Each structure stands twice: as structure tokens, then as C-alpha cells.
Structure 1
């Protein structure tokens, strides 16, 4: 019955139906030549006239950079339904699905492709969440359980700032979206921890999370580490060959840290894997497939690397589908106290200690600039837990190379945030330094200030002061 009614549609009506659709529709022949596109296509390719598209080959258009990858090429190569993200000439990430209509022999006769901007796909997903509210509540509860469980692990990130909460919420939203993610930010901000959080929140959480630091492996070895090699592929190779990290991460997540350091001559091979999920091991002509979710991270400006000619533009757009910048720790100070407590607990447990941090030390570290970000904070707390003798770690326990003066200057500039004991200590320190530099004697300083000489000596140690020549200076 439906077929009979459909046959009554004339060609003009059928074209009106296709042009009514708001998503781009492409109809191609089995060689990838364009037979028809609906009106929505021209909104994405506004620089191309209608007559210019018909008859063009989409694989040639791919080579000209109008989009990447060509869905027709993937369907022709794999002869199956394909759904992936595609980058258009306007650098708009698009969710694209493509399938073929077979002829009587089962071969490809026509190819039909449907596209939707990723932002629109997100909006549609948001509407779907409203309809499936109960299901989403269950999913949210499950993810909260995962968060609570993993916050006890040393590799999980903690923080209370708006920036951190925003990134955590974003991580939950994108966790199950099967496309690449690019994390950016200064060294030590916690990119690895956020990548691991995304993996744990995804449906791949019970599969491998493989971390490759692209800047830590010699350029001559990174290809074999990532893609693996066959037996006898090169001199010195393992006699039985070696599986690469892509194979090790199958069905899981591969985290490519410091992607800006990835060798230029291998970037095309990485791009091929990102587009097709296929690769070749060194010394092997056989194409391998792997189901791997890619998360990349960098502390450099990749657009500058593109200008320098050391990073491929097409690889950047393939990686930059879901970008997220992680601010430095100095811009999210609300995270500092939770991080101090987190790492104190971690290293107390690791080294069998029961240290606490004094209020004055907490205030000092809160106002410190943390140029090395979370990694610097973690390393300092571990050092303090190891080297401190008493149960309470105080300012005098800080290592001699810690820039205490910088922290105190910042602290005094934010007097409204300082506790009264810390503020009074700063005043006392400045009075002692001023008096000593006038008298050049601890005995005369003590007499003038009405305290004992031993009191002044203890204060010099507490405030990390030393005598240099005839002046008292901060160590």
C-alpha cells in the first residue's frame, strides 16, 4: 500500500520533500560523483553554486580541503554504513552518516549521506534527555557513583572552583560521545587527570586507558611505540614483533599527551587512524583496525605550530572537535586548599605519617602563584611530608629554595583575605628586620624591642631570615 502511494509522487514533489529537510542530504553514484544535493547543503557550502556541485567527485573535493574525510570514499572502501565526525571548509565539526543502496547483485549503486552540525546534534540530544528523563537520572546517579569512587584514587582530580566544576560537568556530557577531545593548558594543570576522568565516566571505563607522552619518547621510537611492528621489521627489532599502544588501547582510550611534539613525518599516519580507525604496523602491508577513543593534550599553541610548519592543519582540525582549555591553578584559587588536603592525605598514607598543615602555612600556600600548577603543589606536599619532623608542618618547614618572599608579597596585597595571626607575623618580621638593620646586633634589637635575645634568634629562624654582611635579609 505504501509503495503504491509513493509511486504517485512525481519528481517535483519528491525534490520538494528533500529540500524541506533542514539537514544536508547528498546522493552520489558508486564512484562518488554528486547526483543530487538538497538546499541545506548550500548553507554549509555558501561559496559554491548549485550547478558547481552536481557532477563533482567528492573525493576530489576532499583533496581540495572542502571537508575531511570523504564519506563516499569510506563507504566505497568498506562497503558498509559509516558514521563519523567530518570537518567542513568552515571548520565546523559535523556528524555525518552515509550508507549505500545496492543494485541487484548487491554492489553499490547509489550512496546517500546525511549530515548535521555537532552543535545541532547536541541540541537534539538535549531534547532527547527531556523525553528520557528517568533514564538520564539513572545515568547521572551511576556517574556520581563513579566520581565518588574515583575521587579516592590518586589519579583523580579534585577541586571546588567554578572552572573545575564546569570542566567536570563538561566531562560528563562528552564522556560517551565517540569523537576526539583536545585538552589545552599550561604544564601541570591536570590535563592527564581530566583525560582519565573522561575515560572513567565513559562506557569504556572497564577497558584500557593508555597514556603516551609524545614529548618524552625519542622521535625514532615513537612510531614503533604507537603503531607496533612485525617480526624482522628493522635491525634490532624484537624477534617476535611488537604490538603498539593503539592495539593495547583497543576498545579503550588512548591519551596522546603533548601532541604538539608529535613528529611531523608521522602526523599523516596518525590522521589516517583518526579518520578511518585503520593503521599499518611497521614492516606490514596488512591494514589493522582498532576501536580506540582518542584524547589529546598540549601546552603549546598548535595554531602557531601550524604557522611554523611543524604541525598539520588537517590533523589539528581532526583533533580539535571537542576542545577544552584548563585554566592555570593561579586562576582557580578555590582549588588550592582541597588540593593541599588531598595530597597531604595521599602522602601521609603512602609514607605512614600523620602530618597536618598549620593555618599560617595554608595561608601562605593559598597566596602562592604556583607557576608549576598542580604538579608543583603535589611535589611540594610530598617533599614536606617526607622531610618534616613534627606532626604539624609550618612555614619554617618549607624548603630553602621556596620563594617565600613572593608568596608574602602577594599575601599582603590581599590583606582582606589574610588571617589576623599571619598579618601580625608579617608586621613583626618587618619590625625586626628594620630594627636589626639599624642596630646591627641581635642583642641591641632585643633590648630596643623589649624582648629577650633568644626570642629574636627564634624569630629569625621562624621567618627564614639570615645575616648577610651587616644586614638582615630573607633567606
Structure 2
């Protein structure tokens, strides 16, 4: 083809040519945002406007699995594999990237074909099916390997971390409801996703609904969906609920303790029978969905208060799992610090290390915000520290432990030595008790008697409130 002919292929003509193809074509940017699709893609993935969506989010929503663009971004090479769509269709999808002037990914182009067409053309149905199974197994293994690198609560050698890992493998393919409990920030969402990936449902959607983040008036429509014209202001085409979107997959109901009381019977019915009704519809729908619920509150207390149904609690509590707070698995703090240091060094192209003094300080910190607090602090330190080593002075001024140490050092000139030593003893006593939640354990850890601890609490005007030491 001569240069003169090539010049005739302007943007408008090229779009017309691509739209004549019966196979879906996608063009995404390096972050997975959809820039353009041809007409075949728009018809294959009937979810409304595709342009402007993000393939990572669509993969999480179960529109397709896996995302070929994600695989291209992660592996930076040509990818060709099988893909399963939300309506259970099978595609043979290939993707590659267009580099920028530095050789980095600028755009990603993917091409799909119905797997049945590829089978008919090759006349090798048995071979292609076996290849499909191999692809699915390889993709599952890759996902599990990636999750093991990303899921922080598996980092470390504590009995708690090992127990969580073993338990997740045992219950993954026991296809019943799971209830995860634990404080905010311990990793309940990551644990739920881990179970999903280990289960036979791993190639189907994993849908996350935070019951505490959605207004009570919207939860029913979000979860169960509604029919066309169900209520004033409803979408003219109706709306598919998250239960339907999670069909054959997993629905993670986070903060289940905040689920509205008047809808709990409807949720209970679904858990028992796998049936439900959309808003404005008399027809009973069915969905094969595994429910994993999570809460950081005591549901039995909610039952006693009358804000949570007892029968729903027992239906959710078939396989309960408590994820311990970080202060109860202190052996994992140093591995977690190293894990996140490596993660954020890689993300921000840094080579920082932690000094021993800082490591010791963070090891002895109570971490009330658990793994989430540790992760956020490490990212902040990697970003804000300037030297090759992150030192104690790099801790933010609002960091509780650093703040208390600074106050003691600043006030030393205004104190006598006995008073200064008492302040240090008081600080150690508070920190140790808040880690152990027991005067006996505090005494054992500090090498003194329990009666000594009780006397010091009285001397320093400290009292126990909600398992924490506070000043009277």
C-alpha cells in the first residue's frame, strides 16, 4: 500500500472500517479507562455507555473476567486468553499495547471473538475446551499469587496469621454463609476476597456492598434491583440489583450490622431459599450467590437491642471467623512494616530503609487502626521522608507515640528527675496495658507483680474504661 493511499485513511474513515468488523474492538489508556469501542463491542457488552468506564472496575463488577487490559498492563506484553462475560458468554480475547516514545504503555488495544466461532473455524472443540480449562487454571493461580502478595494479613508468622491462612483454605469451597468479625482495619474485605478466589466461584463476580456507606432508603434498590416504573424517579429501564450481578459468584455484605431492620426479613428469605423479588415486581427471582458478611460490632448486642433479627444472625453465623487485631499478633508488625516499605518503595520509585530505633518504636505502638493505620503511615513516611533512611524524627507530629515522646523531652527541663521518671513509667504503663488489656498480663510483661500495677494505677489516677486506661 503506497503512502498516498495510506493518507486517505483519516480518523473518520478508520472508525468506519473498525465498525464494520463483527468482532469487538476496545481501545483503553494505560490506566484501563475506555477511550473508544467499536459497534460490535457496544452490542456484546450491553451495559450502557462503555466509553469512560474503567476495565478494572468492570472486572470487579463481573462484566467480564479476566480483564485482558489488566493482564497487558501487569505483564507488559501481548496477551491472548479466554474471557467469560457477565451473561456467561465465552470470548477468545487478545490484547497488546501501543508504546509511547519511552517504550512505556500509552494505549491498549484488545480484540475479541466468540469462542464458539473460533471452535467452529478450527474444528477442534475438544482441544479448545481443554485449553480453556488450562487458561482458567493458570489465571486462577496467577490471581492467587497476586493476592498472596497484596493481602497484608497473610504477612508474618504469628499463629493468628497462619490460622487465618489455613482456615480460609478449609472453608473456601464449603458453599455456605460466612460471618467475619473484627475491628476496623484488620482486613475483613481482603479476607472475603481471598475466600472467593480460593473457591470454585473465583471466575465469577465478587461484589462488595458496604451497608454502612449507602443511605437506608437506597439499600433495597441497590441489593435487589427494581423493575421499570417501580417508583417515581426510577430509571426508565429498571435496575439490576447486586444480587443478580453476583449470580454464581460471591456477594460481600460489609458492615452487616448497619443493615436496615425492615429489610432483614427479605435478606433472610434470600439466604434461606436463594429467591427474592425486585422492587415493583411480583415475579420471584432466583440467584446462586454465596454470601460473606462482615461486621465490627457485636451482633448479639444488636439482637438484644432489637435492631437485628435473631434468626438472621444465626443464619449468617454458620461459619464465623474472628480476625484478630494487630496488637494481638505483634510478631507480624515487623514483617508488615517491611512488606509495606517494599510495596511503597516500588510504587514511588524509592529505596528507603527503616532505622532500628524507628522499627522498635513502631513495634511497641498499639496500632488501634490496625493494618489500615500501619499501611497509611508507611505510605506517608515513604512519600515525605527525604533521606535514604526513615528515622524516628520522620514520624508525623500528630502520631500519638511520637507526640508523647516529644512532650516528655520538651518538658524535661521543667521537671525534677523523680517526676520525669514517673511520667515515663506512666507512659509505659498506659501503653502496655492498652496492648494487653489485663493487669496480670501487664505485670508479667513488665516483670512486676499484679499488686504493684494496681498500686501504680491508683497513684497515677488511672482507671479502666472500655478496656483502655484513661486518666480520671
Using the size of structure 2 for normalisation, the TM-score is: 0.55
Q: For residue 197 of structure 1, report the CA deviation from its aligned partner.
A: 1.1
Q: Which residue matches 1:251?
A: 248
Count of aligned positions = 280
Moved over 6 A (4+): 141-146, 429-433
Which of 162, 181, 187 is matched with 2:184 structurally?
Answer: 187
Take 1:200 and 1:375, find their aligned partners in 2: how far apart are those partners? 22
- 1:330 matches 2:318: no
Are 1:320 and 2:317 counterparts? yes
Q: d(CA) in 1 for partners of 2:367 and 2:197?
A: 28
2:263 is aligned with 1:266: yes
Shift of 1:353: 2.4
Output one character per residue of 1:321-353: Cα deviation in whole Å (capped at 9) or x when no partner: 000111111000112112112222222232332
2:197 maps to 200
Instruction: Report matched runs for 1:126-141 at 5 Å.
Output: none
Deviation at 1:292, TM superposition (A): 0.7
1:389 aligns with 2:386: yes
Quickly say closer, same or farther: Cα 1:311–1:436, change in 2 above 3 A: closer
CA-CA distance at 1:297 after TM superposition: 0.5
Label 1:292 to 1:186 Cα distance change in 2 as closer, same or farther (>3 A).
Answer: same
Q: Does residue 1:311 correspond to 2:308, yes or no? A: yes
Deviations 1:433-462 (A, max 9, x none): 6467579xxxxxxxxxxxxxxxxxxxxxxx
Alignment check: 8 A CA contact 2:226 2:238 kept: yes
Deviation at 1:228, TM superposition (A): 0.9
d(CA) in 2 for partners of 1:263, 1:238: 23
Helix, strand or coil: the match of 1:364? helix
Q: 1:140-166 CA deviation, whole Å, 9 max, x = no partner?
A: x99988654422236774332101111
TM-score, reference length from structure 1: 0.55
What is the distance in 1 between the residues matched to 2:139 and 2:281? Answer: 43
1:363 equivalent in structure 2: 360
- Superposition deviation, residue 398 in structure 1: 0.6
Which residue is 2:295 aligned to?
298
After TM superposition, the structure 1 = structure 2 runs for residues 14-413 of structure 1, keeping only pairs within 5 Å, are: 147-153=144-150, 157-404=154-401
Q: Find the residue that maps to 1:324 and give its secondary structure.
A: strand
Pairwise mapping of residues 375-454 of structure 1 onto structure 2 (< 5 A)? 375-404=372-401, 434=412
Bigger Rg over Cα: 1
Contact 1:228–1:243 (CA<8 Å) still a contact in 2? yes
Q: Provide closer, same or farther for how the CA distance between residues 145 and 375 of structure 1 changes in structure 2, counting only shifts above 3 A.
A: same
Superposition RMSD on alpha carbons, in Å? 2.7
Give distance in 2, aligned partners of 1:337 and 1:271: 42
Unaligned 5+ residue runs, structure 2?
Answer: 1-137, 418-472
